[in-house]
RNA sequence: CGGGGCGUAGCGUAGCCAGGUAUCGCGCCUGCUUUGGGAGCAGGAGGUCACCGGUUCAAAUCCGGUCGCCCCGACCA
């Protein structure tokens, strides 16, 4: 009986474990439509927290939200040669409306560059209109062959930022600024350490000059591209005639950037922090930070414990946390469910702190706090409960990042490495391997063929090895750059 | 789209080779007793056995086809 309730262990079958956690923690469900996903309230609650945090960060850096249509005229997508080539194979196309065949098919947006820059062209006349800093929260559709809950679904929710600038340097600065913002979010809110850097030509966004990304390590040592930021150059400005009159009076094409993160982050969160008991959600993103499990034996105990629980919820708790200094707290007052069963259930759902309250505690004016991340228990006085919980939540947030970073470091390989050794690693448990690259796409492709590992990024300065690699991992010629290699989702 | 596996109650499954009343566990409902790590007893509800066709007195089971899902590849946030 107990066995049936146990999860598949992560070590045994990571994929099966991941699916089980997502489904049993009720984050999402399969929909009747192939490849689409239903995000349930528990999963959406995490997304809402992510949205709020990111939205605040975007606004603090001068961006504003707007909304553009779901449908894009097919011809729009075709105006940028590389863009259409990149996205045409995975678009869904509407050919009929109102019972009639449409004159021009409408593409369900796979991304909104085209429609947004078509509008930008109408809004920008002068350098005084720049920079134009817009963000959109939306759903997009990409007809992927193979899907996976949260990580790759036909439809997904995301945020896509689109900006226009007067100069290349301004656009580049924006692209880098957002990459840094994504990194801060991943590490500060998700407790998910990342490596930042530039994508190679083969992984560059279709239509971009340069693509930057944050890459996180999952618990099977595979990389997850968790966010991208593109310097689009003038490619789309030229395609959509997005021009402005400069200070000196001439007409110039604007410089664009686009950047996005999606509900994929929820998958990343699960694969970064989940354990064999289920989900672990970092406090800042947890829809419920504290769950109170009351314990009683007699009728008087029950009354007293429930009363005390309600009092705690009223004084320091707020389910929605409209008040920033109140704690998102839930009371699990279900009868006929024993405390032990409740423990397992909330552990599966990843609530960061469990507050146990029973007659023995009440007699001592205390409660027992149990951490989800490491299982540590500690009694705390009811008089200082609010402060103690706040402090513990911060501690958990920090510890989760620390733990994830330790795992990333432990599974990172640096220094001179033979190709045989590299293959051994990729055939085995995998790793983030920092190694030299000659800069040739042939070497990159050959390695992908032979090992399934790809260059995730050419890492930013901060992540480079102290001793720069001297030779290409594959061909042994002098290294033009240092690359981060890993198998990826 | 290639290779492999699987479709039986909300979930997980037995039965299929050797055709004959639909199996078990979890969950759900009712009642009583329980409640500091997955409660016990009693009673109960819930099924076009993925779909279509064929063979047969009789099909979850045999045969042909279709659809869907999962895993591994190719593609990708």
pLDDT at A404: 97
Angle, alpha carbons A161-A165-A171 (nearest 5°): 70
Least Cα distance to A356 among A331, A393, A319 occurs for: A331
* Rg of chain A, C-alpha, whole Å: 25
Quick check: A196 CB within 7 A of strand B? no
Q: What is the spatial distance between Cα A433 and Cα A452, in angstroms, rounded to a whole number? A: 13
pLDDT at A146: 84
A2 pLDDT more than 50:
no
Question: What's the pLDDT tens digit per position in A138-168?
Answer: 999 998 888 889 999 999 999 999 999 999 9
Tell me what the mean pLDDT of segment A11-24 comes to. Answer: 87
Quick check: A111 CB within 7 A of strand B? no
Under a CB-based contact definition with an 8 Å cutoff, are residues A398 and A189 in contact? no
A242 pLDDT more than 70:
yes
> For chain A, what's the residue count?
489
Question: What's the pLDDT tens digit per position in A256-268?
Answer: 999 999 999 999 9
A3 pLDDT more than 50:
no
- Residue A211, strand partner residues: A230
Distance, CA of A6 to C1' of B19, in Å: 38
Under a CB-based contact definition with an 8 Å cutoff, are residues A242 and A265 in contact? no
Tell me what the mean pLDDT of segment A216-235 comes to. Answer: 95
Tell me what the mean pLDDT of segment A74-88 comes to. Answer: 91
Distance, CA of A4 to C1' of B24, in Å: 13
Interface predicted TM-score (ipTM) of this complex, two decimals: 0.88
A394 pLDDT more than 50:
yes
pLDDT at A151: 92
Query: Nearest nucleotide by C1' from A375 CA?
Result: B37
pLDDT at A6: 76
Tell me what the mean pLDDT of segment A221-243 comes to. Answer: 96
Nucleotides of B under 7 A from a protein CB: 1, 12, 25-26, 33-39, 68-77
pLDDT at A372: 97
Quick check: A452 CB within 7 A of strand B? yes
Least Cα distance to A368 among A291, A254, A258 occurs for: A291
Quick check: A297 CB within 7 A of strand B? yes
Distance, CA of A331 to C1' of B23, in Å: 39
Tell me what the mean pLDDT of segment A235-241 comes to. Answer: 97
Token pair recorded at residue A215: 């890459």
Quick check: A90 CB within 7 A of strand B? yes
Interior/surface letters A167-180, b for 16+ CB within 10 angstroms, e for the rest? eeebbbebbbebbb
- Which of A3-7, A305-309, A374-378, A413-417 is the least confident region? A3-7
Interior/surface letters A307-337, b for 16+ CB within 10 angstroms, e for the rest? ebbeebbeebbeeeeeeeebbbbbbbeeeee
A233 pLDDT more than 70:
yes
Question: What's the pLDDT tens digit per position in A107-128?
Answer: 999 999 999 999 999 999 999 9
A307 pLDDT more than 70:
yes
pLDDT at A1: 31
Q: pLDDT-based confidence at A186, cuts 50/70/90?
A: very high
């Amino acid at each position: 009986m107990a066995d049936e309730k146990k999860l598949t262990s992560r070590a045994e079958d990571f994929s099966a474990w991941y699916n089980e956690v997502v489904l049993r923690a009720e984050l999402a469900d399969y929909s009747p439509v192939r490849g689409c996903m239903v995000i349930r309230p528990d999963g959406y609650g995490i997304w809402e927290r992510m949205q709020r945090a990111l939205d605040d960060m975007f606004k603090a850096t001068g961006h504003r939200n707007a909304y553009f249509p779901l449908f894009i005229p097919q011809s729009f997508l075709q105006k940028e040669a590389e863009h259409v080539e990149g996205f045409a194979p995975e678009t869904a196309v509407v050919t009929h409306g109102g019972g009639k065949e449409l004159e021009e098919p409408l593409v369900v947006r796979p991304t909104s560059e085209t429609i947004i820059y078509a509008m930008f062209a109408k809004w920008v006349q002068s350098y005084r209109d720049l920079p134009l800093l817009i963000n959109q929260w939306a759903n997009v559709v990409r007809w992927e062959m193979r899907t996976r809950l949260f990580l790759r679904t036909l439809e997904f929710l995301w945020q896509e930022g689109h900006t226009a600038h007067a100069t290349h340097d301004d656009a580049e600065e924006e692209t880098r600024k957002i990459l840094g913002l994504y990194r801060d979010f991943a590490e500060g809110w998700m407790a998910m350490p990342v490596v930042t850097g530039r994508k190679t030509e083969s992984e560059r966004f279709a239509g971009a000059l340069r693509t930057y990304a944050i890459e996180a390590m999952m618990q099977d040592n595979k990389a997850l591209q968790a966010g991208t930021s593109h310097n689009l150059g003038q490619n789309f400005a030229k395609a959509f005639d997005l021009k402005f009159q400069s200070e000196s009076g001439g007409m110039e094409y604007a410089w664009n950037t686009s950047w996005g993160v999606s509900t994929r982050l929820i998958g990343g969160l699960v694969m970064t922090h989940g354990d064999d008991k289920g989900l672990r959600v970092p406090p800042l993103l947890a829809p419920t930070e504290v769950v109170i499990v009351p314990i009683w034996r007699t009728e008087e105990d029950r009354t007293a414990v429930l009363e005390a629980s309600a009092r705690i919820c009223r004084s320091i708790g707020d389910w929605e946390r409209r008040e920033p200094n109140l704690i998102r707290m839930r009371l699990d007052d279900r009868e006929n469910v024993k405390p032990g069963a409740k423990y397992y259930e909330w552990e599966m759902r990843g609530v960061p702190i469990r507050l146990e309250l029973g007659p023995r505690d009440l007699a001592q004016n205390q409660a027992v706090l149990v951490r989800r991340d490491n299982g540590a228990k500690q009694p705390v006085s009811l008089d200082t409960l609010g402060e103690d919980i706040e402090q513990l939540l911060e501690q958990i947030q920090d510890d989760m990042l620390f733990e994830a970073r330790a795992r990333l470091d432990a599974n990172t390989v640096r220094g001179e490495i033979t190709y045989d050794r590299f293959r051994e690693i990729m055939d085995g448990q995998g790793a983030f391997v920092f190694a030299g690259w000659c800069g040739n796409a042939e070497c990159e492709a050959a390695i992908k063929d032979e090992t399934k590992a790809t260059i995730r990024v050419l890492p930013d300065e901060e992540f480079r090895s102290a001793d720069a690699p001297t030779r290409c991992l594959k061909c042994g010629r002098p290294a033009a750059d240092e690359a981060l290699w890993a198998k990826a989702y």
